[in-house]
Structure 1
Amino acid sequence: MTNNSTPRNPHHNRQIHPHHTQGGTHQERQDVERVTPEDSAREAASESPDAASVPPGGAEDAHDAIARLVAENVDLKDRLLRALADAENVRRRAERELNDMRQYAVTKFAGDMVNVADNLERAISSLPSELRGNAGPFKTFVAGVELTEKELLRSLEAHGVKKLDPTGSRFDPHLHEAMFQVQDPSVPSGTVTTVVQPGYTIGSRSLRPAKVGVAS
């Protein structure tokens, strides 16, 4: 039996749209050409997690932190200098107190010894001048007492105790005690003219004020 039907073209069902295909290709080419390197960089930067933008107040916060650290540094430096100054003051005060203790530790003992010196001086002055000048036992006695007094004064001076003889000097209320006033136009007013009892100093302090008469 003969088949009179028209042979089927294998390409009969394939639909070709040349205009559509060509137009689509042209449009895609235009889209590709419109993408510039700047656009690609912006897109990559926007998608990158490491490209986070700095907050607007970040610079101000950093500036405040630096200013705060500088202020703390200045404060700590000031505290250190004050601590060093206080330590130096304590050291100097301790050294001064130690020197004062060494210098004035014998104050009470020296006060007792000056009374002995006074008694030796009274013993010498109580002898009549004619007896002190004559040869014999009185002269030897006087010489021995005078030598003892000088040795005592020298020992006291070795420990910072000095005898005062303010005759002719200006009256000093820190070192002298005025017992009376005398009229003496030959010297300025306030001048010590008479010493009733000698005074003593220990270091820079008065151990015992000298009892004096002052010109008015």
Structure 2
Amino acid sequence: MIDTNAENGAETSATEAAPGEAAERDAFAVIEALNAENSELKDRVLRTLAEMENLRRRTEREVADAKTYGVTSFARDMLSVVDNLARALEHLPEEARKNADPHLQSMIEGVELTARDLEAVLGRHGVRKLDPKGQRFDPNFHQAIFEAPDETVPAGTVSQVVQSGWTIGDRVLRPAMVGVSKGGPKAAPKGEPPAASGK
């Protein structure tokens, strides 16, 4: 005779073990899902923080650029005033300056003072005058309008400034209009002394 109680006990323990294993598998699946969700959320947070840092840096850079270059249009317009004051003073003969009556002398000094003050005000806002005479021609800062033979300086040297150039911050506001020498000795590479003329 077969012991049915033993068979029933084996079946019961098998059925009891199966639900426990299933519950354990379910728990592991839930833990895996939570870990995956945690990783995804962590990745999102890190990406968001990186984007916020990039936005902060970009905003700081834009604010700095706006502060430095915000007056560009106004400064460019003011350059014509600076040029006109300089032309007025240049066209006044030296003899006329010396022999001018006190009223005219006072007016000349007033124009000179105004020109200096205007350049100083522009300088306080980051606008600087370029004085390239004697420097090597640089197309980033100079605009060549003619070439002139001059064997006393290396070829490619700014020999004459027709109109002053200006920068704002590290940008060119207006390139200097210059005459460039040609026919002289070749310019030495940077860091070397210029070649001596054979004459």
Percent of aligned pairs with the same residue? 52
Alpha-carbon distance in 1 for matches of 2:130, 2:45: 48
Q: Larger Rg: 1 or 2?
A: 1
One of 134, 137, 156 as aligned partner of 1:171: 137
Matched, 1:210 2:176: yes
Matched, 1:80 2:23: no
Q: 1:22 corresponds to which residue?
A: none
Shift of 1:171: 2.2
* More displaced 10-residue stretch of structure 1: 74-83 or 195-204: 74-83
Q: 1:150 corresponds to which residue?
A: 116
* More displaced 10-residue stretch of structure 1: 85-94 or 49-58: 49-58
User: Any unmatched runs of 5+ in structure 2?
Assistant: 1-7, 183-199
- The code of the aligned residue for 2:55 comes to V
Shift of 1:70: 3.9
Aligned to 1:52, the other structure's residue is in SS state helix
Aligned to 1:215, the other structure's residue is in SS state strand
RMSD value over aligned CA atoms? 3.4
Aligned to 1:148, the other structure's residue is in SS state helix
Taking structure 1 as reference, are residues 186 and 74 closer, same or farther at Cα in structure 2, changes over 3 Å only?
farther
Q: 1:21 corresponds to which residue?
A: none
Kindly indicate whether the alpha-carbon contact (under 8 Å) linking 1:175 and 1:206 is maintained by their aligned counterparts in 2.
yes
One of 111, 115, 126 as aligned partner of 2:80: 115
Q: How does 1:48-59 map to 2 (within 5 A)?
A: 52-53=17-18
Q: How does 1:34-45 map to 2 (within 5 A)?
A: none
One of 146, 160, 179 as aligned partner of 1:194: 160
Output one character per residue of 1:53-78: Cα deviation in whole Å (capped at 9) or x when no partner: 56778877766665554444333322
Kindly indicate whether the alpha-carbon contact (under 8 Å) linking 1:45 and 1:51 is maintained by their aligned counterparts in 2.
no
Shift of 1:196: 0.3
Alpha-carbon distance in 2 for matches of 1:104, 1:121: 25
Alpha-carbon distance in 1 for matches of 2:27, 2:154: 78
Q: 1:162 corresponds to which residue?
A: 128
The aligned length equals 177
Shift of 1:215: 2.5
Alpha-carbon distance in 2 for matches of 1:79, 1:191: 58
- The two structures have a TM-score, normalised by structure 2, of 0.71
Kindly indicate whether the alpha-carbon contact (under 8 Å) linking 1:194 and 1:212 is maintained by their aligned counterparts in 2.
yes
Alpha-carbon distance in 1 for matches of 2:143, 2:88: 24
Aligned to 2:17, the other structure's residue is in SS state coil
- The two structures have a TM-score, normalised by structure 1, of 0.66
User: Any unmatched runs of 5+ in structure 1?
Assistant: 1-42
